[in-house]
Structure 1
Amino acid sequence: MRDGECFEDDATVRGRVIRHLLLSPPPPADGRMPQLRARGVRISGELDLSCADITVPVRMQDCVFDTTPALQHARLSRIQLVGCALPGLSAEGMAIDGDMRLHSCHLAGELNLVGAKIGGVLDLRFTKITPTGRIAIDAENADIGGIEARGSRCEGCWYLNSTTTGGVFLDEAQILGEHAFIQAPQMTIGNGGFYARNGFRCGGSINLAYSTLGGPIAFGNATLGKAGDRAFIGIGIRLTGDLHASPGSVFEGSIDLAGAEISGTVNLNEAHLTSPGAEGAVRLSRTTVQGGLVMRSARLSGPVDLTMARITGGVDLTGTELHDHGSLIAVGASITGDLDLRNSTLSGRLNVSSAVLQGDLRLGGAAFGQADGVSLRASGMSARRLEFSPTRPPGRVEFDHAAVAVLADRQASWPASSGQVTLDQFTYQSLVSDMSVRERLAWLATGTPHAEPGPYNQLTACLRAAGLEREAGRVLREKLRRTARTRGRIWQLWGLLQDLTVGYGYQPGRAVAGVLCLLLAGTLFFSRATCGPAAGLCPIKADEHPAWDPFMYCLDLLVPLISLGHDTAWDPTGWSKTVALVLIVAGWVLVTTVAAAAARALTPP
Structure 2
Amino acid sequence: MNIEDLTRPERRLWEAFPKGESVDLSSGDPAYDDLGQADRWGSERVVRAEVLVALLVGAVEPQPGQVAAVRLGGARITGSLNLGHAEVSVPLALTGCTFDDAPHLYWASMNSVHLMRCRLPGLIASGTRVDGHLWLEGSRISGGLWLDGANITGILNMSGVQLTNPGGDALLGDRLAVDANVYCDQGFSANGEVRLPGARVGGQLIFRGARLHNPSGAALYASRLDVAANVFCDGGFTSEGEIRLRGARVGGYLSFVGARLSAPERTALNADDLAVETDVYCSDGFSAVGAVSFAGARVTGQLSLRDAHLRNEQGTALSVQRLQAEELLLRTAEPITGIADLSYARISLLRDDAASWPARLQLDGLQYETLEPPLTARQRLDWLHRDTDGYAPQPYERLAQTYRSLGLDSDGRSVLLAKARDRRQTQGLPRKIVGWLQDILVGYGYRPFRAASWLIGLLAFGTIVFSFHKPAILNSDDTPHFNPFIYTLDLLLPIGDLGQERVFSPDGVYQWIAMFIVTAGLLLGLTVAAGATRALSRE
Deviation at 1:573, TM superposition (A): 2.5
Please state if 1:128 is matched with 2:92: no
In the TM superposition, what are the counterparts of 1:535-554 in structure 2 within 5 Å?
Answer: 536-554=470-488
| Secondary structure of residue in 2 paired with 1:397 | strand
Could you tell me which of 258, 266, 269 is aligned with 2:223? 258
Which structure has the bigger radius of gyration? 1
Unpaired runs of 5+ residues, structure 2, are 26-42, 63-67
Could you tell me which of 229, 234, 237 is aligned with 2:199? 237
In the other structure, the counterpart of 2:137 is: 171
Deviation at 1:145, TM superposition (A): 0.9
Equivalent-residue separation in structure 2 for 1:528 and 1:170 (angstroms) = 105
In the other structure, the counterpart of 2:527 is: 593
Cα deviation per residue 1:390-438 (whole Å; 9 max; x = unaligned)?
Answer: 8656652112111122223xxxxxxxxxxxxxxxxxxxxxxx24x4333
| Secondary structure of residue in 2 paired with 1:107 | strand
Equivalent-residue separation in structure 2 for 1:485 and 1:60 (angstroms) = 83
Q: Structure 2: which amino acid aligns with 1:295?
A: F
In the other structure, the counterpart of 1:71 is: none
In the other structure, the counterpart of 2:150 is: 187
Is the 2:256–2:286 Cα contact (8 Å) retained in structure 1?
Answer: no
Please state if 1:456 is matched with 2:396: yes
Deviation at 1:104, TM superposition (A): 3.0
Task: Give the direction of change, closer, same or farther, for the CA distance of 1:99–1:601 in structure 2 (3 Å limit).
Answer: same
Deviation at 1:442, TM superposition (A): 4.1
Q: Structure 1: which amino acid aligns with 2:87?
A: K
Deviation at 1:124, TM superposition (A): 1.5
In the other structure, the counterpart of 1:330 is: 294
In the TM superposition, what are the counterparts of 1:257-296 in structure 2 within 5 Å?
Answer: 257-276=222-241, 280=242, 282-296=243-257
In the other structure, the counterpart of 1:350 is: 318
In the other structure, the counterpart of 1:22 is: none
| Secondary structure of residue in 2 paired with 1:120 | coil
In the other structure, the counterpart of 1:149 is: 115
Cα deviation per residue 1:34-91 (whole Å; 9 max; x = unaligned)?
Answer: xxxx884798xxxxx9xxxxx977999799xxxxxxxxxxxxxxxxxx9752343173
Equivalent-residue separation in structure 1 for 2:507 and 2:18 (angstroms) = 136
In the other structure, the counterpart of 1:6 is: none
Is the 1:364–1:387 Cα contact (8 Å) retained in structure 2?
Answer: no
Is the 2:23–2:73 Cα contact (8 Å) retained in structure 1?
Answer: no
Equivalent-residue separation in structure 2 for 1:42 and 1:170 (angstroms) = 23
In the other structure, the counterpart of 1:196 is: 158
Is the 1:387–1:407 Cα contact (8 Å) retained in structure 2?
Answer: yes
Deviation at 1:478, TM superposition (A): 3.5
- The structure, 1 or 2, with the larger RCO (C-alpha pairs under 8 Å, 6+ apart) is 2
Q: Structure 1: which amino acid aligns with 2:82?
A: N
Is the 2:324–2:346 Cα contact (8 Å) retained in structure 1?
Answer: yes
Equivalent-residue separation in structure 2 for 1:265 and 1:41 (angstroms) = 45
Equivalent-residue separation in structure 2 for 1:218 and 1:40 (angstroms) = 37
Deviation at 1:488, TM superposition (A): 5.0
Deviation at 1:492, TM superposition (A): 4.1
Deviation at 1:553, TM superposition (A): 2.7
Q: Which has the higher helix share?
A: 2
Deviation at 1:241, TM superposition (A): 0.9
Please state if 1:361 is matched with 2:329: yes
Q: Structure 2: which amino acid aligns with 1:517?
A: G
Equivalent-residue separation in structure 2 for 1:56 and 1:263 (angstroms) = 39
In the other structure, the counterpart of 2:457 is: 517
Count of matched residue pairs:
492
In the other structure, the counterpart of 1:215 is: 180
Unpaired runs of 5+ residues, structure 1, are 1-14, 20-37, 44-48, 50-54, 64-81, 409-431, 530-535
Please state if 1:246 is matched with 2:211: no
Equivalent-residue separation in structure 2 for 1:456 and 1:274 (angstroms) = 39
Deviation at 1:519, TM superposition (A): 3.0
Task: Give the direction of change, closer, same or farther, for the CA distance of 1:468–1:208 in structure 2 (3 Å limit).
Answer: closer
In the other structure, the counterpart of 1:382 is: 346
Is the 1:61–1:83 Cα contact (8 Å) retained in structure 2?
Answer: no
In the other structure, the counterpart of 1:476 is: 416
CA RMSD, aligned part only? 3.4
Equivalent-residue separation in structure 2 for 1:500 and 1:444 (angstroms) = 23
Equivalent-residue separation in structure 2 for 1:148 and 1:121 (angstroms) = 8
Equivalent-residue separation in structure 2 for 1:446 and 1:17 (angstroms) = 81
Deviation at 1:137, TM superposition (A): 0.7
Is the 1:41–1:62 Cα contact (8 Å) retained in structure 2?
Answer: no
Deviation at 1:508, TM superposition (A): 5.3
Select between 237-246 and 555-564 the one with higher mean Cα deviation.
555-564
Equivalent-residue separation in structure 1 for 2:359 and 2:388 (angstroms) = 16
In the other structure, the counterpart of 1:105 is: 75
Q: Structure 2: which amino acid aligns with 1:597?
A: G
Is the 1:329–1:351 Cα contact (8 Å) retained in structure 2?
Answer: yes
Q: Structure 1: which amino acid aligns with 2:292?
A: L
Task: Give the direction of change, closer, same or farther, for the CA distance of 1:603–1:137 in structure 2 (3 Å limit).
Answer: same
Equivalent-residue separation in structure 2 for 1:541 and 1:234 (angstroms) = 99
Cα deviation per residue 1:504-534 (whole Å; 9 max; x = unaligned)?
Answer: 44545544443333333333433444xxxxx
In the TM superposition, what are the counterparts of 1:574-585 in structure 2 within 5 Å?
Answer: 574-585=508-519
Deviation at 1:17, TM superposition (A): 6.3
Equivalent-residue separation in structure 2 for 1:60 and 1:445 (angstroms) = 72
Equivalent-residue separation in structure 1 for 2:23 and 2:451 (angstroms) = 107
Q: Tell me the TM-score normalised to structure 1 length.
A: 0.72
Equivalent-residue separation in structure 1 for 2:22 and 2:461 (angstroms) = 122
Please state if 1:297 is matched with 2:237: no
Deviation at 1:446, TM superposition (A): 4.6
Is the 1:365–1:389 Cα contact (8 Å) retained in structure 2?
Answer: no
Q: Structure 2: which amino acid aligns with 1:437?
A: A
Task: Give the direction of change, closer, same or farther, for the CA distance of 1:577–1:445 in structure 2 (3 Å limit).
Answer: same
Equivalent-residue separation in structure 1 for 2:274 and 2:81 (angstroms) = 40
Equivalent-residue separation in structure 1 for 2:44 and 2:57 (angstroms) = 22
Task: Give the direction of change, closer, same or farther, for the CA distance of 1:397–1:237 in structure 2 (3 Å limit).
Answer: same
Task: Give the direction of change, closer, same or farther, for the CA distance of 1:233–1:544 in structure 2 (3 Å limit).
Answer: same
Please state if 1:400 is matched with 2:400: no
Is the 1:378–1:399 Cα contact (8 Å) retained in structure 2?
Answer: yes
Equivalent-residue separation in structure 2 for 1:39 and 1:403 (angstroms) = 75
Equivalent-residue separation in structure 2 for 1:56 and 1:465 (angstroms) = 77
Equivalent-residue separation in structure 1 for 2:357 and 2:190 (angstroms) = 34
Task: Give the direction of change, closer, same or farther, for the CA distance of 1:61–1:318 in structure 2 (3 Å limit).
Answer: closer
| Secondary structure of residue in 2 paired with 1:342 | coil
Is the 1:62–1:84 Cα contact (8 Å) retained in structure 2?
Answer: no
Equivalent-residue separation in structure 2 for 1:582 and 1:331 (angstroms) = 59
Q: Structure 2: which amino acid aligns with 1:340?
A: S
Select between 84-93 and 180-189 the one with higher mean Cα deviation.
84-93
Is the 2:240–2:261 Cα contact (8 Å) retained in structure 1?
Answer: no
